[in-house]
Amino acid sequence: MELFETLKKVTLDSYRIHHLVAIFSLVYVILKISKLIVKRNEWIRALETFPGPPKHWLFGHVREFKQDGNDMYKVVKWGESYPLAFQMWFGPFVSILNIHHPDYVKTILASTEPKDDLSYRFLIPWIGDGLLVSEGQKWFRHRRLLTPGFHYDVLKPYVKMMSDSAKTMLDKWETHSKSDESFELFEHVSLMTLDSIMKCAFSSNTNCQTVRGGESGTNSYIKAVYELSDLVNVRFRTFPYHSEWIFQLSPHGYKYRKACNVAHSHTEEIIRKRKEALKDEKELGRIQAKRNLDFLDILLCARDEDQQGLSDEAIRAEVDTFMFEGHDTTASGISWTLYSLACNPEHQQICRDEVISALEGRDTMEWEDLSKIPYTTMCIKESLRLYPPVPGMSRKITKPMTFFDGRTVPEGCLVGTSIFGIHRNATVWENPNAFDPLRFLPKNSAKRSPHAFVPFSAGPRNCIGQNFAMNEMKVVVAQTLKRYHLTEDPMKKPKMIPRLVLRSLNGIHVKIKPVDLEP
């Protein structure tokens, strides 16, 4: 009987505890939601001078994006109704001011305001607190330490390595050139740019384009990057996933951690091997006497005015950042450029004639050739305008910001720059959806705002690797045109979709045939 009473008491106490926990949890949730509602109302008032398209009370504008290849055009269409800028809502509590005009983007890009703490926060477990997402003095110090890695003298030897990687890819395309069927090129280009950056930035010959299992579909790092890009997008669009613990407990969170481990293993192995090779060499001058310097040499040997270098954690973050930014964005730029030229054979032929003249019988590009292909360069720029590899970016402002028309946004506002929207803005570009490389003739460029074309961002936080990227795009496009005619597949039109970089839902397909150089 006494035992029964004891058990009864324990059961009642346990029930009361669970009851109290439930009550406290409910109160916490109610307070949390109340706080979010107050914040939502504050943002509605703060952005009332920036009207936007009608939104759902719970989902905001999320359900407007169908992930069907037309979402990018929808933002451009909204821009026609709401000039300069408009508010967009992702769920009930997250509001972003979307700007799509050069005069507005000039204000935000001229500042050093940090990247937003929402979407970019989701990248940190993958690429760490590197140059892309860091802020304040840490960003300034890292930017200063990394800038020598993109000096003319460092970039110059890379052209030969880029050329070799491009040749390997084009050799593999021989099979496709004998077929009348189209093939998907983004995967090939991704593997080629990975091969290239491994050679250039990390002096590592992986032979990833040719060794067994090296195809992009089975390459573990490429697969991890694709999966991480998709999962970051899924997390941003799924409001409950903004909660760290909900995402971590979800199947998507498990996949994200697994893919991060693959990516980190890849970069850690690169760093480990280089540290081992450099254990007796601490000065860049002594390293350079033996071979060409690369990005990783400069990263490991970088010192500030106090002779302090980067921590192991910072080095891995910068390597992870550059591995992603240096191969995936460039792969997007090259793939869409080749597609643009396939769709515009008259411009393709002008480029080919220019390249053949510049190379003077050679099959591969050299440093001196980069300045000899101005028309090809204009075509690359026009493709970057139509298909910017990074279609948008976002900042969180730390103090009130006033734009040229007098409208102001308060501290804490998320300001998104739609690069795709700016590049397709009909008030800035005549016939904006047409492919017209002559827009980039010097006399025509001089008539436009310098912020009308920002594929590499602009201002103090512009892309540190933009010269590296442009050089690689020139090399690969030129060598491709020297060797193959490109034609589009009208049955497989690409469906644009933003996944950190601009991709296509159904891939990017072209047909190729060998160039006949005989008259």
Residues in binding site for heme: 463
Number of H-type helices and E-type strands within the chain: 20, 11
Distance, CA of 331 to CA of 188 (rounded, Å): 9
**Where are the extended beta strands (E) located within 116-265?**
183-184
Of 384, 418, 414, residue with least CA distance to 76 = 418
Coil, helix or strand at residue 512? strand
Coil, helix or strand at residue 261? helix
- In the beta sheet, which residues pair with residue 60? 56, 90
Alpha helix positions (H), 344-440: 345-359, 374-386, 419-423
Of 500, 450, 468, residue with least CA distance to 110 = 450
Distance, CA of 386 to CA of 379 (rounded, Å): 11
Place of tokens 């959806």: 433
140: tokens are 């300034």
Distance, CA of 219 to CA of 213 (rounded, Å): 6
Q: How many CB atoms lie within 10 A of CB 30?
A: 10
Of 196, 198, 191, residue with least CA distance to 219 = 191
Distance, CA of 21 to CA of 325 (rounded, Å): 46
Burial class (CB in 10 A: 0-12, 13-18, 19+), 490: exposed
Q: What is the largest CA-CA distance in the chain?
A: 108
Of 517, 513, 518, 519, residue with least CA distance to 485 = 513
Annotated binding site: 463
